[in-house]
Amino acid sequence: MNNHPYHLVDKSPWPLTSSMGMLTMMTGTVMWFHKNNSILMNLGLMINLLTVMQWWRDVVRESTYQGLHTNKVVKSMNMGMILFISSEIMFFLSFFWTFFHSSLSPNMEIGMMWPPKAISTFNPMNIPLLNTTILLSSGMSMTWAHMSLMNMNMSKTNKSMLITVMLGIYFSILQAVEYQESKFTISDSIYGSTFFLSTGFHGIHVIIGTMFILVSKTRIKKLHMSSTHHVGFETSAWYWHFVDVVWLFLYLSIYWWGS
């Protein structure tokens, strides 16, 4: 037995394997871009997926079966998630800064106009508006799941989380369709760069958030969480609401005002 409430993590190979996977995927992505060969990138992706699956398995064991996530540990995990989301806010702020810097004072190279003359932008009333409705609805269903969990209504919790996951997948599919229909690319001036970087990274965050919620849903279905101990679910809800808010700013600034 420990004489302190903190969790001193056992030795683990997963930080090393995830580092190897990230290095492999990064170099594989460069090879994919320049040589049109995606084998190394897919290998790195497989290493990362296997690593996170086993790392999450260990975290579930530590929290659910070994009882190592005490109140002190939960508090530190919540604080870590807050700091992580804060860093993500700064990450997206840099994209918005770039977009407004270039749009409010367009330079001579892009014709001193915004959007640049050759760019055919998206209609903000089509797929972007639908995606906005989808994400706002998913935020509502996530809040419903949180309230149901607090009331220990596991049936409603699982149903509302399933709705959130389905809406997240639907959003990702619509964004892929939007990218396929795009009349400009990431290499088309500063507009293409800022558009695809900001919306693309947001799309990645939606995919990660969907996986996060799906894992939490699976754990809740296995009765790993209760109304008083659900740090995994709570942090996934924070992350999802953060994704929702970022999308609102993206829609208003890039799709609506910027077009």
DSSP secondary structure letters along 118-139: T-----TTSHHHHHHHHHHHHH
User: Are residues 75 and 131 located together in one domain of the fold?
Assistant: yes
User: Are residues 169 and 196 located together in one domain of the fold?
Assistant: yes
User: Are residues 102 and 220 located together in one domain of the fold?
Assistant: yes
In a 3-state reduction of DSSP, which class is residue 162? helix
Cα 136–141–144 angle (5° rounding)? Answer: 130
User: Are residues 29 and 81 located together in one domain of the fold?
Assistant: no
pLDDT in tens, 50-76: 999 999 899 888 888 888 888 888 899
Question: What tokens does 212 get?
Answer: 């996060």
Number of domains in the chain: 2
User: Are residues 64 and 98 located together in one domain of the fold?
Assistant: no
pLDDT of residue 26: 94
User: Are residues 101 and 212 located together in one domain of the fold?
Assistant: yes
CATH number at residue 44: 1.10.287.70
Counted residue by residue, the chain has a size of 259
pLDDT band at 34 (very low <50, low <70, confident <90, very high): very high
| Least confident among 52-56, 115-119, 246-250 | 115-119
User: Are residues 84 and 9 located together in one domain of the fold?
Assistant: no
Question: What tokens does 114 get?
Answer: 């915004």
User: Are residues 130 and 233 located together in one domain of the fold?
Assistant: yes
Ordered alpha helix ranges (H), 61-153 = 71-104, 127-150
User: Of 44, 68, 92, which closes a domain?
Assistant: 68
pLDDT in tens, 132-178: 999 999 999 999 999 999 999 999 999 999 999 999 999 999 999 99
User: Are residues 152 and 253 located together in one domain of the fold?
Assistant: yes
pLDDT of residue 1: 55
pLDDT of residue 2: 67
CB-based contact 244:136 (threshold 8 Å): yes
pLDDT of residue 161: 94
User: Of 21, 45, 68, which closes a domain?
Assistant: 68
pLDDT of residue 258: 80
User: Are residues 64 and 78 located together in one domain of the fold?
Assistant: no
CATH number at residue 156: 1.20.120.80
pLDDT in tens, 121-136: 889 899 999 999 999 9
Question: What tokens does 90 get?
Answer: 């700064």
In the chain, % helix, strand, coil (3-state, to 5) comes to 75, 0, 25
CB-based contact 78:234 (threshold 8 Å): yes
pLDDT of residue 9: 82
CB-based contact 114:103 (threshold 8 Å): yes
Buried-exposed string 158-190: b where 16+ CB fall within 10 A, e elsewhere: bbbbbbbbebbebbbebbeebeeebebeeebbb
User: Are residues 103 and 57 located together in one domain of the fold?
Assistant: no
User: Of 68, 100, 119, which closes a domain?
Assistant: 68
Q: 51 is in which domain, residue-wise?
A: 1-68
The rounded distance, in Å, linking the Cα atoms of 168 and 209 is: 8
User: Are residues 7 and 82 located together in one domain of the fold?
Assistant: no
